[in-house]
Structure formats: structure tokens, C-alpha cells
Structure 1
Amino acid sequence: MRDGIVTGEGVVVDARPAAFLTRGLALLIDLVALTVVVVALAWALSGLALPAGYESPLIIAALVTVAVVVPTTIEALSRGLSLGKLALGIRVVRVDGGPITARHAFIRALVAVGETYLTAGSLALIVSLLNEKGRRLGDLLAGTYVVRDRGRSTVDVTLVMPPHLAAWARTADMRRLPDGLALAARQMLSRADRLAPAARERLGRSLAAEAEQFVAPGPPPGTHPETFLMAVLTERREREWASGQRARETALEQATMIHRLPYGVPDPS
């Protein structure tokens, strides 16, 4: 398993699952906050003169709002945060590392009614202890899990073309690498010195094999996987920069033509 998550902004964050104790404390903070909301709603409703028979539906609606609607709205708008998670530095993400949506937040909140509130958290505890990433039942159904959000670090690796691969890289047909694959390769290169030798070799070979599917012809025989990845990422960066320069020049030329006076009329400027 790769030891990182790449966000849509190209930031690599720590993918280690949050500890069970941390998630429990975050849940406790959220429950205290929800309790305050419940007390406030109860106080507000007690001052209303409601017709007979309206009390029960109103109470049910208030409980659904507090237990499902409020957590769903908060997690969806904050992309995986809540008051407790913010305080403890954790966040809910999709299993692929992307931000959750309202659908993910709704499933988590709905399932939490049964596995957390109605069972006093016992079902969530059992499922989390049996899961590698500590995912509760709501996470399994929603396709999410909770990760540590503090201490995130950006990828910091200098891309330099290996001299003996420069000629090959200039002429190779490199279809656009998926952004996730390119960022995973860059992440691996930045952390290579901190990886165990066996894990480093295994991850390097795996990423190189994936990247080679987008490169033709392949690298010269005997090319080290990390050297190949460095060459591909460097050439990719150079080609994207050149493409961006051409696009800016074309836009400038078109803007000049649009503002030019027609029919050969001299421009007084």
C-alpha cells in the first residue's frame, strides 16, 4: 500500500489511519456539541404552544435533524471535518484519498444512528477493531476512512533529467500520464531515502511498470526504475511547460488581431 494520499491540488498528505482513541475523542466532542444543540432545540420548542398531537412528529424531526442532517451538512461543506475532527486533527476522506461528497457524509451519518447512537458505539467499536484501517460500518458502506490531517507535507523533489536518458526522452512518445500516477511517482522519489530497501524497490518497480504503459518506446534495457521515473517526470514537466508557453503566445496573437483595426486602417497608437 502506498504511504500517501494525493489530493486534487497535488498535495501529498499523510495517509496513516487515525488511531481509534483519537476518533473516539473526536466523536465525544461531536456528541457534546450535538447535545448542546438538542438542549437548545428542546428549550426553544418548550416555549411553543403546539396543538395536541404535534409534539411527537416535531421531536422526531428535531432528532433526525440533529443526528443526520447537521452532521451531513457539516462534513459535506468542510470536506470531511467536524468540530471534534478539527480539534483532534483528523479528517474523513474517500478510500482513494479524495474529498468526500454529500453522499458519503449522508451515508456515514445515517449508519451512525444505528451503529453509534442506538448501540452506544459498541457496533462501531467491534467493526473498527476488525478492520485494517479502523473503518466503522458507515465508512465501509460509504467508501471512506479517517486519516490524520495534521502535519501534511508537500512533495519536495528536484526533477533532473538523467543525462544518459535525455536523447531517449526527447524522442519518446509519452502519452499524458494520469495525474495520480505522476504524483505518486514523484512522492515515491521524494521519500525514497526514508523507505525500507525492500519496500523502495518494490514500489519503484510497480510505479515504473505502470508508467511504462504510457511511454513508447520503453527505456533502454537495464534502466533503473527510479531513473526511468525521474526521466519521465522531467520530460513531462518540460513538455507541459512548452505547451503552456505556446498556448500563451497563441492567445496573445489572437488578442492582438482582435484589437487591430480592419481593412488596413493605420492604428493611431
Structure 2
Amino acid sequence: MHWKDIRMVADPDSEWIDDYAPGEEGTLTGEAVTLDLHPTGFVLRALGALIDVVASVVVFVILAIALSLTLVTLGTEEAVQAALFIVTIVVCFVGIPMTVETLTKGKSLGKLAIGGRIVRLDGGSINVRHAAIRALLGIFEFYTTFGGAAALCGLLTPRTQRLGDLAAGTYCQYERVSGRVLPLFGIPPQLAEWARIVDVARMPTQLTRRIGQFLAQATQYDPDRRARIAAELATEAAVFVAPVPPVSPELFLAGVTVVRRERETEALRLERERLTKLQPALRGTPHSFPLRDDSPAG
């Protein structure tokens, strides 16, 4: 079983705080497939938004100065000048952000800096409608309330969504998750007999991630902390295991992990075999009906 490098934040009172998880279910697609996607944390989202706001303000200032010099040189009427300035504001703070996010499928200067991307709740790419809703509500969130509305909403939502995200049905996905492969290990010898009879139910996704993270980094902890974390995780995992072997918590976690890995691998193998057996029926024609020849007559 391979585990991704999950970003965890250590806290003096709590050993594990999930910095990104939207919930135990993950992201559900339209085909009822759960995706392991990572929402961007609040601090990174705030930094990315600040970069985007500064970039928009800089573009507006440059365009406003150029427009002012041009209009003064041409001697344009004040009413026309006011109308053009309004158009410039709309273009800089709504048009450009909307266009950039649409063309880049959810990217912007700030999101490139933090490694984020705006996606739909089902994990798909956004379109012009999503980008337009986000840009329009961004005027209120960032410029009218000086970012207060966006910050408050981000703190109160599990995926750090601002009002524009809630209205458009989007969130910021974090794309810089490490893909390093961790070494595999087999069932501990003390648990060989237990592994043949144990029943391991499906555990919550977050618990599985935390166990994998602990086993990958256990050697980096001091003995007391290592034993404490292993005991806490073993207590949570024991609810989904029967029988629970009389071994140390860390050895128990290793055994559960290997059993789950091997049984999931076996389930996938059996599924491939069933699909292979069904291929003749899936690709064949009913009752040996001849295939239609669509080639032009010679």
C-alpha cells in the first residue's frame, strides 16, 4: 500500500490535525467515485488571494495612468473619461480574473505561487460561469470588505471556501502533494496466524491516512511520543478489527495495514479476472449476428 505525503500540523495538545480534509467521504464525482483531493489550507489561500489582489491593483493603476494621460492629451470630455474609468475598473477586477481562470482552468498568478487550482466540487474543471460568479462576488469580498468576508467564510467552511466558491460550487484544490513511494513491508511473523482469520472492516479515510503517516515517520519520533501516538491510533483502529491481537499497538497497526493492502489487492485481481471472462460477451454480437459491413460497395 502506498501513502501520499499528507500535510499534517503538529500541535502541543493534539498529535494529529488534518490540515486539508473536507470530511471522511472525500470528493464524490458524478459517477459516485470518491477522489482523494486536497483542498488548499487557509493560510495558503489567503496568500494566493493577496497576490491576485495586488496583481489586479497594479494592472489597474498602470491602465488608469495610461488612460488618464491619453484622455488628457486628446481633450476628452469628463463624462467620457468617467465612463472609461468605470470600464477599466470592471475589466481589471472582473474581466481579467474571470478570463484568466477560464482560460487556465482555474489557475491565476496567486494560485500558481501557492500550488492551487480552482475546481468544481466534483473535481472537474471550471468554466466561464464559475469564474464569472467568483469574480463578481470577489469585488464584495476583497475590495468592499477588505478581505474580511472572504477570510471569515474561509475559516468557517471545511474546504476553505469563500462566498464566491459557495455560490459557484467550487473550491481551491492543492496540487503540490508529494508522490514519493514508500517501501512496502510484509505481515509481521507474530501475526501470521492472526492475518488468516482476522476481519478488518473498511476504516475511515482520515484514519487510514494517519496510520500510514505514522508508520512512515515512526522512527523520527522519540520513544514516548511514538508509543503514545501508536496507542491512540490502535485504539481508533481496533473498532474496525476482530479479533484484536495481543501485541504492541505499533505492531498491530502494521498488521492491519498489510492485511488491508493484501485483501484490496486480491479484490482488484478478482475483479480483473471477472472482467476478462466477460469480454467475449461484452464485445460479441447476440446470437452470432453478423457484423455490419459499412465499407462502400466496390
Q: TM-score, normalised by structure 1?
A: 0.58
CA distance in structure 1 between the aligned counterparts of 2:118 and 2:240, rounded to whole angstroms: 29
Summarize deviations over 1:80-135 as a string: whole Å, max 9, x none. 7421231x2343799xxx9799799899766653453135xxx54xx69xxxxxx8
Q: Which residue of 2 aligns with 1:161?
A: 187
The answer to whether residue 223 in structure 2 is matched with residue 175 in structure 1 is no
Q: CA contact under 8 A between 1:160 and 1:234: conserved in structure 2?
A: yes
Residue type matched to 1:2 in 2? I
Structure 1: tracts of 5 or more residues without a match: 43-52, 129-134, 264-269
Q: Which residue of 1 aligns with 2:154?
A: 139
Residues 75, 22 of structure 1: CA spacing in aligned structure 2 closer, same or farther, 3 A cutoff? Answer: closer
CA distance in structure 1 between the aligned counterparts of 2:63 and 2:257, rounded to whole angstroms: 51
Residue type matched to 1:233 in 2? T
Summarize deviations over 1:20-75 as a string: whole Å, max 9, x none. 77764454235435767999999xxxxxxxxxx9x999987985676467657866
Q: CA contact under 8 A between 2:47 and 2:110: conserved in structure 1?
A: no
Q: Which residue among 214, 234, 252 is the counterpart of 1:188?
A: 214
Residues 249, 138 of structure 1: CA spacing in aligned structure 2 closer, same or farther, 3 A cutoff? Answer: same
CA distance in structure 2 between the aligned counterparts of 1:2 and 1:208, rounded to whole angstroms: 17
User: How many residues are matched?
Assistant: 236
Residue type matched to 2:155 in 1? L
Query: Matched residue of 1:220: which SS?
Result: coil
Q: CA contact under 8 A between 2:47 and 2:114: conserved in structure 1?
A: no
CA distance in structure 2 between the aligned counterparts of 1:194 and 1:33, rounded to whole angstroms: 48
RMSD, aligned CA:
5.2
Q: CA contact under 8 A between 1:155 and 1:190: conserved in structure 2?
A: no
Residue type matched to 2:178 in 1? R
Query: Matched residue of 1:160: which SS?
Result: coil
The answer to whether residue 251 in structure 2 is matched with residue 235 in structure 1 is no
Q: Which residue of 2 aligns with 1:89?
A: 114
Residue type matched to 2:232 in 1? S
Residues 13, 59 of structure 1: CA spacing in aligned structure 2 closer, same or farther, 3 A cutoff? Answer: closer
Q: Which residue of 2 aligns with 1:47?
A: none
Q: CA contact under 8 A between 1:5 and 1:15: conserved in structure 2?
A: yes
Residue 188 (structure 1) shift: 2.3
Summarize deviations over 1:147-188 as a string: whole Å, max 9, x none. 986573545242321111122122111122233432332122
CA distance in structure 1 between the aligned counterparts of 2:47 and 2:58, rounded to whole angstroms: 17
Q: CA contact under 8 A between 1:108 and 1:139: conserved in structure 2?
A: no
Query: Matched residue of 1:156: which SS?
Result: coil
Residue 144 (structure 1) shift: 0.3
Q: CA contact under 8 A between 1:13 and 1:154: conserved in structure 2?
A: no
CA distance in structure 1 between the aligned counterparts of 2:94 and 2:281, rounded to whole angstroms: 57
Residues 67, 210 of structure 1: CA spacing in aligned structure 2 closer, same or farther, 3 A cutoff? Answer: farther
CA distance in structure 2 between the aligned counterparts of 1:191 and 1:13, rounded to whole angstroms: 23
Q: Which residue of 1 aligns with 2:165?
A: none
CA distance in structure 1 between the aligned counterparts of 2:98 and 2:232, rounded to whole angstroms: 38
Q: CA contact under 8 A between 1:81 and 1:91: conserved in structure 2?
A: yes
Residue 189 (structure 1) shift: 1.6
Residue 252 (structure 1) shift: 2.0
Residues 252, 59 of structure 1: CA spacing in aligned structure 2 closer, same or farther, 3 A cutoff? Answer: same
CA distance in structure 1 between the aligned counterparts of 2:223 and 2:124, rounded to whole angstroms: 34
CA distance in structure 1 between the aligned counterparts of 2:131 and 2:153, rounded to whole angstroms: 9
Residue 195 (structure 1) shift: 4.2
Structure 2: tracts of 5 or more residues without a match: 1-15, 28-34, 69-78, 162-171, 289-298
Residues 78, 201 of structure 1: CA spacing in aligned structure 2 closer, same or farther, 3 A cutoff? Answer: farther
Residues 260, 71 of structure 1: CA spacing in aligned structure 2 closer, same or farther, 3 A cutoff? Answer: closer
- Percent of aligned pairs with the same amino acid: 31
Q: TM-score, normalised by structure 2?
A: 0.54
